[in-house]
Structure 1
């Protein structure tokens, strides 16, 4: 493209004048009484550093989920709390500005003593769109969203471009892609004509010219040496034939609209000729055209016209979980980073009031979220987390993509659970051992961010009601995730206020803190051991031990560190019945004590129980119901002689020693 020298001089002059003006302003600003422009973030940071106190009794903060740490400290930090009432309004599932500094202060600032009011209904849309939004919310740990609109709304999966409506893209790149593939032809439009089944000879010549394979292009007796001359020829109303022919060739139109040699500025210029401007106060419902936007720009808006969630929303939930764990292992920990993609997807879908259109890729994301229904937390944990936290030493570096050997992922837990311990393995055949069946219910899978909410234990083989231990634990979080409430039946209201315990058939009071429950659990086991060694038995015991150790680790690093125990102080070892029941001995066709049952398709506790007894577990996913089911399995005839196999697969605990202390110090660092 040829540019005249005078144009370069004009640009340089304008740029010099702009720079000179800014330099003059900066020079004047050196004086104390002068003013200088400062960004909003700048003066807010100054206010925070100067500990500005807001002189009002009531402070209302809207969109609190998007506040940065600086803003949060300024508006509802310690300086503002004394004698003030602070009201925070926000939705943590609409936090989409993590890339520009939005922190999680909104979630962690309000402790459990502050009153909270949750809105789970929307009058924007009906139940069909609300159902899609709920799928995303549940995967993110949220509540069910109820659509209160009288119109149910429509949700359609389509791969076609819109004739009228709103296209919401995940990124600016998505906008470019949509515009480049769906920009309408602006030369002419002929109704009823079909595209020819094969390219005509002149089309092939023009395509060759556009690819710079030919020096010129000839059409209708006219010869063209540049693209600009072709465009100029088409714009002349007298030359209708070429424009009409081009309108039937989409690929060639795309070449003309976005030729490779044109600049980005020219690309925008071409697009501006295809779309008319829309006033900011003009209703989208009255705008008969296409609105293309990113999800960040669409936040806070709603549309009666069809809303298409474009195909650049692409994420796999299981892969995202694995990547999150990889970041966790690498100590690049941002626990909620992977949730922001889900938040963006949720915000995009909830812009629609009546018609939600999903691209095939967006629908694939929604289907992947539907599959993540936490029906068995432990099974999902074993599938996703176990391969990352318990690989073989030689395989760990390979999984992390590192060349050098990798130190233990969790030195503290590794020291607590290592098998090269001071304690020898128990002889389960000859020694008098107290066997305690254990299970716990949790708020999630991660021992660093999730908590134990129920701990239950039972002396194996005892019919005495006093040999059953069950306590509920009040976690230090805002609320129990909805999936956990639905799966276990343990609700926030039950933990905070007490109620009827269906598993035990009696009323319970308010749940206790973990420290109190663990001390009671220790006492329960020690009183029944009478000096004997104690073995804990659990199905997928690694998960239960890891979650309990997570609570003990937080305890050890808290202000109550001096009283923090380790499991090895009370218990000698643990047995994972998932590993036990998978042992091939049980499923051989010629079993020593008679024909054995066929090998089950699932080794989950519910799957095994149904396979052996042909019935479901009573109070499944409640710790009491699960330990009773596990006890019945161990005492049933098919598993008679389990102690012989357990001798070889038990995992000893470590008692408090120098190795543990060193590991704790390493973990603190």
Structure 2
């Protein structure tokens, strides 16, 4: 079956120039457009720079022979990453940082770790004041003291002879600082999801002398909290050509209307057009649907949705795998809090903390989101081990076998489902106490969640009020007949 391109897509496919920025709303076929652009330029050797491995793997099945698909970390691995293989860890633990700094001053350890992570994601050549948290978040510590601690950590993680653990961002930073010449291998770089690019990646991409095409949706920028930046608005692109993709093939006019409510709140005058048919926006999950997805703002929301579904004997698929939601660590924390270490699967908690009281004290002192979230879950889902056992029995590893899919809104990026339920744990974006940046970040995340729906979008109370244009005071009491606003338990029809 032939696929007819839109005039907007044709303009991109036929583009000739040095730098191009494509602003693509959700579901507008940006990858398909890039594939056709590559097919229209068969003599050009291209690098498709993917945001993550899943996107890269999918892209490899779509792009023609003249395109290599890689992630930024994959580019850096052969040059630097392989030398640190034995030291890699997903996240640096605050206890490891404190030991290296030889301190029990937990706020200092947390601030040093925050500063290091900010530097690793930045374009700067060395740690500086710019990478430190705001002055009112420094617990009275001087900038020099915190920066000195950051420099100690950077020295340790960047040394090949050190045994201090490192994250993947360390070797990516080293790759950027080496000044790689990508133009020696490729004529054109296709930079996807550029709205959420780390400055470290943007720095070496935008410094290349070859052609660069950046594609993204600034309203799907959801990783600024990790140091990501919107490369689409980089000062290096002042002379770039700019084109739009505004026709969504994912959903129809009803879902598009909800997306446009959020776009308008962000000050965007352009609107997304839904070209699909038969979509709907509802307030209750339709009865007897064979499958639906629940998207949550928080990990606790995901676990609550999974528990609710599991207790109704529904099979549940976890986007990214249940292991990514740290349920085993949560159960260990339960036994640690009950002073029953013999039931713990890992001894890490006992090694890192004297007891549960110290864990709670450190969580409070450092304001660590994951630690405090775990403490809340122990209270909300007591007795936890029994409920987790039921939940795990209902897990399926293939989504086709599931009746319910659960995910955070962050993990849902790039995915889509026929029926999407918005959980009640999203931030109230109408709250006047939010800063401008917080409001934009949370609005973007809600926009991502809303635009995952193909056919049916089940609104939460916040989006229902947004749709109706009600005042915030009318939104304070959510309906309790279909959703419990406790940050997790979505109540589904039996």
Q: What TM-score do the two structures reach when normalised by structure 1?
A: 0.34
More relative contact order, 1 or 2 (CA 8 Å, 6+ apart): 2
Q: What TM-score do the two structures reach when normalised by structure 2?
A: 0.45
